[in-house]
Structure 1
Amino acid sequence: MIVQRRSVVKWLSVSLVMALFLSVWGGANRASAFTASNADTAMNSLVNVFYDANAKYFYTNSDHLIHAAHAFGPNGGLYTDFWWEAQMWETVMDAYQRTGSSTYRTMIDDIYTGFNAKYTNMIDNQFNDDLGWWALACLRAYEITGTQEYLNRGSFLFDQVYAYWDTTYYGGGIWWRKDATDPATSSNAQKNMASNAPMVMTAIKLKNAYNNSTYLTKAQQMYTWIKTKLVSGNKVNDHMEGTGAGIVKDWDFTYNYGTFLGAATALYGATGTSSYLTDANNAAGYVIDKMTSATTLMYEGENDAPGFKMIFARNLNQLRVQAGQSQYLNFLQQNATQAWNHKRTSDGIIGSDWTAPTGSAYIQSLTAAAGASILQFVSPDNYTGNIAGNGLYEAENARRTLASGVGMINESTQTGFNGRGYVAGWNTNGTSLDFYVNQNNAGTKTITFRYAAAAGNASRYVKVNGVDVAANLNFSGTSGWSSWNTVSMTISLQAGSNTIQLGYDTSKGNNNWLNVDQLYGL
């Protein structure tokens, strides 16, 4: 998988933390219900917009044009790339397992044929995580269809990837890339969650298919390395890199937590060992508590990033079903409802941020599949309202507008913050934070910002749904960056979707540093 990772900038001067406290009103104004019919419509829309039946392959973009943002797949990027097509295939399997439809059963075979026509030699791909996703998907296809070819291919790909298990660096682990296995000579040399955790799930499927305990031994070996090297408490880190003992990169992606809890769930199913179940629940709990916006999975970016929450949600559902963890059903149903409620009405496609309406620009296939897939594998609850959630909005999970790519970073060095951290380094004109707030009733609300302002008094503007409601809201200085204060104001929200924007505009008198952490309800 080619992850478009973002560098982290260290700011030495400030921290501001804001917490918005939003009182959530119940009400009768309701959006579309999450029903089985909705799931049908969402899948039909995905196929109608993205699937090329002649090529037996999914287009990268909804407009069927090539865009530089993600031009990695066949035909110059017209069609989805290697690991995206594996996820599209899994989405079709999600739909088949829900419906038993002969249409989706045929597509399972067709997509495999179309993929092999585009990639005539899969192992030319240098990314082990890409190969691993196809190994896992092939074995799922075997479990569904009984087709021997899928078992053979999945087994072959597993062996190809597992060959890159190596103890020379970091005490084990599978290398991310086949062409980068020495940190002393390659900056791409790393061992990550993406190339290891899915292989644990694959190994358990092979153990079940062949009744061969050797695969269980390999799964436990890989899992032990993952947990020892990439997991710290409840935090699931991204990868190790560097020479010698290596360093751990602690990038927070729902992808990491989803693949880890999937691996733990698979091992729990194979062994009944309770520690695996504990690990899976801890990873799930971290995301639900710290990587959501009012209980909806957070926006993580474009390109690869929208697929992260699909993988998390799919594996969370496996934890729910296979391990009997029914406590996650409501969370999954609420996220499915959010995705459905924010679809684009013109073509039924769901965008990358499930808390906000999908815009008019082209949508990428992996993005759309994430929204369609959760409606396939989660049972409908027939709820017809908006999802107001718990009224808690972590600023570090909010959407942000930067100026020339700079202006705010996530930070967790000061004490007293909530969630994963707070937004820091905020002193750049033209930058803002957007909180997408969904309500069932229109009404007047009191919101409160929690913040630290050790550089002295500061001010920011507040807009609600694009309209100025405070041109110069004052944030009184605090005694230090770990000293928090609050400021409140009254606003009006409409039923349905709303945007609360906290912004920096020097023409309105904004000044001094601030950082941001939460928005939550009173």
Structure 2
Amino acid sequence: MDISAEAVTKADWPARADEAQRSLKKHFYNEKTGIMNQWFPREYFRPDDNFYYWWHAHVLDVLVDAYERTHDPELALQIREYSRSLRAYNGGTFLHNYYDDMEWTALALLRAFQATGEEEYKTAVLELWTDIQTAWNDHFGGGMSWKKDQLDYKNTPANAPAAILAARLYSLLRNPEDLEWAVRIFEWNQAHLVDPGSGLVWDGINRLGDGRVDYDWAFTYCQGVFLGAGVELYRVTREQKYADAALRTAGACINRLCDPDTLLLPDEGIDDTGLFKGILIRYFAQLEKQFPGAIPVREVILANADALWNKGLDHRSVLCGPSWELKPILPVQLSVQLSGLMLLEGAAVMQRRSTSSELE
């Protein structure tokens, strides 16, 4: 290992993640609504802006990241208050028109339940899961619809997270129907939206009502959730085909989407796409946990985290932009900030596992 690589490995990533967690709360939290503003400064918000419900599921996710890392009881309180505020802001329910939004909320609440043991999260997850199952229909031979008012549009963002959720519920509750759901959803996603030649994952089919696959939409997000589903199914079944699918997609993702010299992930812009890289990092970390060293995802996570910390952060505010090697320009969106925070939490996970291995 060269000196620079050693410096990246030995950096205090948990402390850096803590700084980013504090920045998120300082710059985005709205005491009146109890949830995060979608812009900083908040003056950039317009009355006709969309309410991006699914971004707030990822706020819950990063709060759980911090709680799992620190076991700070104050964070458990923040998770509870945020989840209740999100439900209130969404009209007193976690249910939504977009199936993928509900899936993300269910995944975050399931992690909150497993981290804290608080039953209200489990109750909410099961309510969401019952509604999410209505996404499955016979258009294109099955698969989960993206949203309730466009049932003939199927995409990876609605299918792979649902497979992850079903597999995790099976692991927790041992209901055979949940495993059947996970397998069925994963297999549909693999058959229809994964390049059989490379393992690269496409976004969706029939978005415009023409039956076409969006072959040119190869987002980091889709790679992350599909390989994440493969990891979860391998964990609960130990069937090698799921491991092979996850590792193949991870390799294709690195080869296609990472800079070959620096391993940096691309700038995918703002709005929803601002969250995509952070989601990939989350599931890269899960892949590394299950198959340490099999694919150089640890190197990808640490290379991107180092670039963000040393080039892409405004250290006065600890805000970041959609490029992890360029300083942010105001305004900063919540989605983009969450992606950077997920990256720093991912680096903290890599460091913790490395330290644990050295002590064994």
Q: Is the 8 A contact 1:155 1:206 kept in 2?
A: no
Output the CA distance in 1 between the equivalents of 2:4 and 2:278.
30
Equivalent residue number for residue 232 of structure 2: 266
Equivalent residue number for residue 457 of structure 1: none
Query: What is the aligned length?
Result: 341
Output the CA distance in 1 between the equivalents of 2:189 and 2:349.
34
Q: Is the 8 A contact 1:98 1:377 kept in 2?
A: no
Determine which of 210, 217, 221 is the counterpart of 1:255: 221
Equivalent residue number for residue 236 of structure 1: 201
Matches within 5 A, 1:345-384: 345-359=315-329, 361-379=330-348
SS at match of 2:33: coil
Output the CA distance in 2 between the equivalents of 1:135 and 1:380.
22
Instruction: Tell me by how many angstroms 1:246 deviates.
Output: 2.8
Output the CA distance in 2 between the equivalents of 1:47 and 1:340.
19
Distance change (3 Å), C-alpha of 1:242 and 1:301: closer
Determine which of 252, 255, 260 is the counterpart of 1:289: 255
* More strand by percentage: 1
Instruction: Tell me by how many angstroms 1:53 deviates.
Output: 4.1
Equivalent residue number for residue 163 of structure 1: 134
TM normalised by structure 1 equals: 0.61
Matches within 5 A, 1:51-450: 51-67=29-45, 71-73=49-51, 81-122=52-93, 125-167=96-138, 169-181=139-151, 189-233=152-196, 234-241=199-206, 246-250=211-215, 251-293=217-259, 294-325=262-293, 327-341=296-310, 342-359=312-329, 361-379=330-348
Instruction: Tell me by how many angstroms 1:218 deviates.
Output: 0.8
Output the CA distance in 1 between the equivalents of 2:24 and 2:183.
37
Q: Cα deviations across residues 65-86 of structure 1 (Å, max 9, x unaligned)?
A: 243598112xxxxxxx210100
Equivalent residue number for residue 21 of structure 2: 43
Equivalent residue number for residue 356 of structure 2: none
Distance change (3 Å), C-alpha of 1:26 and 1:333: closer
Q: Is the 8 A contact 1:94 1:377 kept in 2?
A: no
Output the CA distance in 2 between the equivalents of 1:350 and 1:313.
16
SS at match of 2:149: coil
SS at match of 2:167: helix
Instruction: Tell me by how many angstroms 1:123 deviates.
Output: 6.1
Output the CA distance in 2 between the equivalents of 1:52 and 1:270.
40
Equivalent residue number for residue 14 of structure 1: none
Q: Cα deviations across residues 456-509 of structure 1 (Å, max 9, x unaligned)?
A: xxxxxxxxxxxxxxxxxxxxxxxxxxxxxxxxxxxxxxxxxxxxxxxxxxxxxx
Instruction: Tell me by how many angstroms 1:62 deviates.
Output: 1.2
Equivalent residue number for residue 427 of structure 1: none
Q: Is the 8 A contact 2:285 2:350 kept in 1?
A: no
Q: Cα deviations across residues 95-137 of structure 1 (Å, max 9, x unaligned)?
A: 1111212222211111111111211343662111111111111
Instruction: Tell me by how many angstroms 1:332 deviates.
Output: 1.0
Q: Is the 8 A contact 1:95 1:377 kept in 2?
A: no
Distance change (3 Å), C-alpha of 1:87 and 1:212: same
Output the CA distance in 1 between the equivalents of 2:88 and 2:80.
13
Q: Is the 8 A contact 1:200 1:263 kept in 2?
A: yes
CA RMSD of aligned residues (A): 2.6
Distance change (3 Å), C-alpha of 1:245 and 1:352: closer
Q: Cα deviations across residues 298-320 of structure 1 (Å, max 9, x unaligned)?
A: 10111111200111000110111
Instruction: Tell me by how many angstroms 1:245 deviates.
Output: 9.4
The one-letter amino acid of 1:210's match is L
Output the CA distance in 1 between the equivalents of 2:102 and 2:63.
19
Q: Is the 8 A contact 2:40 2:333 kept in 1?
A: yes
Output the CA distance in 1 between the equivalents of 2:96 and 2:57.
14
Output the CA distance in 1 between the equivalents of 2:313 and 2:71.
25
Q: Cα deviations across residues 372-393 of structure 1 (Å, max 9, x unaligned)?
A: 12212323789xxxxxxxxxxx
Output the CA distance in 1 between the equivalents of 2:96 and 2:325.
35
The one-letter amino acid of 1:131's match is M
Instruction: Tell me by how many angstroms 1:243 deviates.
Output: 9.7
Output the CA distance in 2 between the equivalents of 1:276 and 1:198.
15
Output the CA distance in 1 between the equivalents of 2:237 and 2:73.
35
Q: Is the 8 A contact 1:269 1:323 kept in 2?
A: no
SS at match of 2:205: strand
Q: Is the 8 A contact 1:33 1:337 kept in 2?
A: no
Instruction: Tell me by how many angstroms 1:36 deviates.
Output: 2.7
Instruction: Tell me by how many angstroms 1:57 deviates.
Output: 0.7
SS at match of 2:313: coil
Q: Cα deviations across residues 428-477 of structure 1 (Å, max 9, x unaligned)?
A: xxxxxxxxxxxxxxxxxxxxxxxxxxxxxxxxxxxxxxxxxxxxxxxxxx
Q: Is the 8 A contact 2:230 2:243 kept in 1?
A: yes
Report the identity percentage. Answer: 28
The one-letter amino acid of 1:119's match is N
Matches within 5 A, 1:450-465: none
Q: Is the 8 A contact 2:60 2:109 kept in 1?
A: no
Output the CA distance in 2 between the equivalents of 1:39 and 1:262.
22
Distance change (3 Å), C-alpha of 1:102 and 1:225: same
Q: Which runs of 5+ in 2 are unaligned?
A: 352-360
Output the CA distance in 1 between the equivalents of 2:323 and 2:140.
36
Q: Is the 8 A contact 2:154 2:207 kept in 1?
A: no
TM normalised by structure 2 equals: 0.88
Q: Cα deviations across residues 41-93 of structure 1 (Å, max 9, x unaligned)?
A: 121111111123453211111111243598112xxxxxxx2101001111111
Output the CA distance in 2 between the equivalents of 1:145 and 1:279.
32
Q: Is the 8 A contact 2:98 2:147 kept in 1?
A: yes
Q: Which runs of 5+ in 1 are unaligned?
A: 1-24, 74-80, 182-188, 383-522
* More helix by percentage: 2
Output the CA distance in 1 between the equivalents of 2:178 and 2:291.
21
